[in-house]
Structure 1
Amino acid sequence: MPDAPRSASQPELTALFATVQQHFQDVIVPLWQGPGWNAAMALPYEALDAEHRPLPPQRYRAMACARQLYLFASLIGDVPAAEERAAALFRSLQRHFHDAEHGGWFYSIDAHGAPLDQRKDLYTHAFILFACAHYWAKVREPLVASVLNAALEVVAQRFATDDGLYEASLDRDWSSLNTGPLQNPLMHLAEAFLATLSVRDDTAVQTALVVLCDGMHKRFIHPDDGVMLEKPLGAVDNWFEPGHQFEWYFLLESSALLRGSTLHRSLSRAFSATEQQGVNQQTGAVRAMLDPNLDGRPRDETQRIWAQAEYLRALTLRPDSEALIQRQLLALQQRFLHAGGWYECLDRDSAVSRGDMPSTTPYHLATCYRGLAEYFG
């Protein structure tokens, strides 16, 4: 790797982080308290344009509602009216998306509140579990605990497969769609299990998490490079995403239960090579997709803000990383954040390729900043 940039002094780096945090609280969070909030539906719009106008709603997703529930639950005590907004989002999750007939939660509703995509996907259920764990930690309300338990039960009884992994998607009545397991929903399920274990002792969840990570190592880790693939080994047209590699690394490294596991060891060994091939060493830009072998051939060089955030968060758990944290925090601030919010995507030449602001992105920024706050201590 080329020489890292000059290391900032600790006060200088702390001041930079404080500026980025202030931008989050003063600019980004108010977008979802004001123009991004559909008061009639009690749901966040899916996205705002660069002028803070809601994009014409085509749908509302349960996953987006859950991510915003996590966001405002995490802000309780720090941001005015955060608790009221979290309560409204929790009610909307049940009101709009819960399937009273078959159990679980729909994927989406249409612009008028009618069920749209009624399939049951693991990604959605993982975020409902994740959000409810964090929300319950703040409010300790029995109804929140009941939803948390219901989500765990659905995941265990409906999505689980014999090999310790989980189907990515099922039909509304839980019949098979033959999707099999996919990396991204499974990663967020691991994240949700960790969130659950952070707020209560749960032997069943702990066991499920360990078995899940063992299954991920067997089914998704490239045998030569140790990188996490997006589809199981042997699948046609496979690829890997540096952002997800960094996201997995943070989850495993931050967990006393998972640190030292075979999965953790694989991703730790592959971290430097992922940086070399997946991160532009001049700009700090994280590339979107690479071919499975770490041979330097990017498949997609789009720069996404969530991947930038995940790399930065992962660096907080790497040794001797202060200079790289400085570089990446500056890259996030100077290349993605702006006075009106953020740029969602840049192209390979760093031109803005997606200027709208989805309601799901503040989740990534919030978890990144939480990791940074713990790093600065």
Structure 2
Amino acid sequence: MLSTTPTAASTSALALALRDHFSGVILPMWRGPGFNAALKLPFEALDVNHRPVPPQRYRAMACARQLFVSSQAGDAAHAHVLFHSLTRTFRDIHRGGWFYSVDAQGVPLDTTKDLYTHAFVVFACAEYARRCGSHDALEIVYGTSELIQAKFAADDDLLNAALTADFAKVTGLPAQNPLMHLTEAWLVARDATHDHAFDATLLRLAGAVSRHFVHPKSGCIAEFPVGTQGNRLEPGHQFEWFWLVNQAGPLFEGTGLAETVSRAFSFAQRHGVNERTGGVCASLDEERRIQDATQRIWAQTEYLRALAIHEEPTVRATLPRQMELFKQRFLRPQGWVECMTATGETARADMPSTTPYHLATAFNALPV
């Protein structure tokens, strides 16, 4: 661990330390040992010694997240390579849309048409277009967004989670996570294009989420439509929705989401965050009992990001302590801890290529 005891360091100094670790340790991992120079794709994961975990697949979503990170970091050269790898490797030129994954040789493996994947293609290409001025990326933002609305459409403005390769059969019903990341993607696309057509699209999606996913007892946005047997509530997603709805400003007025996410934040903080360690658990059941006590790093970053923009001074005042606890518990001199048990043991030792996206978005939201 980087230190052992929480300090009273200022928020800005802590934020600087986190950003320095990201730029000095994490970014170089994925420019060097984490990048397969032959296939021009990021490996799925590195071990603690920065050796690639033997690849079984490469996912479009992972490539897209790395494209976002490189674009946001101002590494235009690497972003350019990743953009062309994304379009060359994962685009289904015959049936449209994007493959979920390719195998270790770069041959299509899982050809499912996955909404989560398509959302990240829009998200990454919008950021790449905004940072690097790519007209080709903007075409993908518009084309993929139109395809999503045409092919994934379900009842009452919802969208299905997955379809067969030819879009003919639904294999995954509407679920919270892809809808959340599509909201994220279209917010970035709206900023990148200044096209108000995304306003109406986002408003319909927000309304559908509000009608179908808001858990009445807790105010949380559930993982599956309310009434689904075995539904669960993920604290990390409540913090993520809190950030997204606040980023949307007045756009979602009338949908009820602003009130929902404020209530959900309080519920998730009260029942999903360990008061002593600051660790955010993976999930709660519908009766607010901890269902999965695993502490995944992405949920911790979403908590940091939500705290950074919370309007209540007493809530925001907890940010420095939370940043220090995060640094101690989840960052290592040569990387990070991906998953931890509630008692502090490492539950997953390797470091996935998808995680820098969570770190980048959180650290960039922290006060300077």
Give me the TM-score of the superposition, normalised by structure 1: 0.93
Which of the residues 90, 93, 103 maps onto 1:100? 93
CA distance in 2 between counterparts of 1:113 and 1:95 reads: 10
The structure whose RCO (Cα within 8 Å, separation 6+) is larger is 2
Query: Structure 1 residue 317: deviation in Å?
Result: 1.4
> What residue number does 2:12 align with?
14
> What residue number does 1:336 align with?
330
> What residue number does 1:227 align with?
220
Alignment of 1:208-287 (within 5 A): 208-258=201-251, 260=253, 261-287=255-281
Identical counterparts, % of pairs: 47
> What residue number does 2:151 align with?
158
CA distance in 2 between counterparts of 1:255 and 1:177 reads: 30
Where 1:60 maps in the other structure, the secondary structure is strand
> What residue number does 1:79 align with?
none
Which of the residues 19, 22, 25 maps onto 2:23? 25
CA distance in 2 between counterparts of 1:208 and 1:162 reads: 15
Q: Which moved more, 1:138-147 or 1:92-101?
A: 138-147
Query: Structure 1 residue 176: deviation in Å?
Result: 1.8
CA distance in 1 between counterparts of 2:283 and 2:143 reads: 35
Q: Which runs of 4+ in 1 moved over 4 A?
A: 5-9
Residue 317 of structure 2 aligns with an amino acid whose one-letter code is A
Which of the residues 107, 110, 116 maps onto 2:103? 110
Preserved CA contact (<8 Å) 2:337 2:348? yes
> What residue number does 2:318 align with?
324
Residues 330, 254 of structure 1: CA spacing in aligned structure 2 closer, same or farther, 3 A cutoff?
Answer: same
Query: Structure 1 residue 259: deviation in Å?
Result: 5.5
- Unaligned 5+ runs, structure 2: none
Residue 283 of structure 1 aligns with an amino acid whose one-letter code is T
Where 1:116 maps in the other structure, the secondary structure is strand
Alignment of 1:1-377 (within 5 A): 8=8, 12-76=10-74, 82-258=75-251, 260=253, 261-294=255-288, 297-318=289-310, 319-320=312-313, 321-372=315-366, 375-376=367-368
Preserved CA contact (<8 Å) 2:337 2:349? yes
CA distance in 1 between counterparts of 2:93 and 2:122 reads: 18
CA distance in 1 between counterparts of 2:204 and 2:121 reads: 21
Deviations 1:82-107 (A, max 9, x none): 21110010001111100011000000
Where 2:249 maps in the other structure, the secondary structure is coil
Query: Structure 1 residue 258: deviation in Å?
Result: 3.8
Q: Which moved more, 1:253-262 or 1:137-146?
A: 253-262
Query: Structure 1 residue 141: deviation in Å?
Result: 2.1
Residues 64, 14 of structure 1: CA spacing in aligned structure 2 closer, same or farther, 3 A cutoff?
Answer: same
- Unaligned 5+ runs, structure 1: 77-81
CA distance in 1 between counterparts of 2:286 and 2:261 reads: 14
**Over aligned residue pairs, what C-alpha RMSD do you find?**
1.5
Residue 28 of structure 2 aligns with an amino acid whose one-letter code is P
Deviations 1:242-294 (A, max 9, x none): 00010001100122134544012112123222211000011100010100233
Preserved CA contact (<8 Å) 2:99 2:110? yes
Q: Aligned residue pairs: how many?
A: 361
Where 1:353 maps in the other structure, the secondary structure is strand
Query: Structure 1 residue 39: deviation in Å?
Result: 0.2
CA distance in 2 between counterparts of 1:154 and 1:228 reads: 26
Where 2:309 maps in the other structure, the secondary structure is coil
Deviations 1:2-57 (A, max 9, x none): xxx99947xx2211111111000000000001000000000000000011100000
Where 1:86 maps in the other structure, the secondary structure is helix
CA distance in 2 between counterparts of 1:355 and 1:185 reads: 26
Preserved CA contact (<8 Å) 1:104 1:154? yes
Query: Structure 1 residue 203: deviation in Å?
Result: 3.0
Where 1:287 maps in the other structure, the secondary structure is coil
Where 2:231 maps in the other structure, the secondary structure is coil
CA distance in 2 between counterparts of 1:146 and 1:130 reads: 13
CA distance in 2 between counterparts of 1:328 and 1:33 reads: 29
Preserved CA contact (<8 Å) 1:254 1:317? no
CA distance in 2 between counterparts of 1:177 and 1:161 reads: 10
Deviations 1:153-184 (A, max 9, x none): 11111112241111100010001224220000
Preserved CA contact (<8 Å) 1:258 1:264? no
Deviations 1:88-141 (A, max 9, x none): 100011111000110000000000011000010000000000001110001212
Preserved CA contact (<8 Å) 1:59 1:110? yes
Preserved CA contact (<8 Å) 2:199 2:251? no
Where 1:56 maps in the other structure, the secondary structure is coil
CA distance in 2 between counterparts of 1:266 and 1:145 reads: 32
Residues 176, 19 of structure 1: CA spacing in aligned structure 2 closer, same or farther, 3 A cutoff?
Answer: same
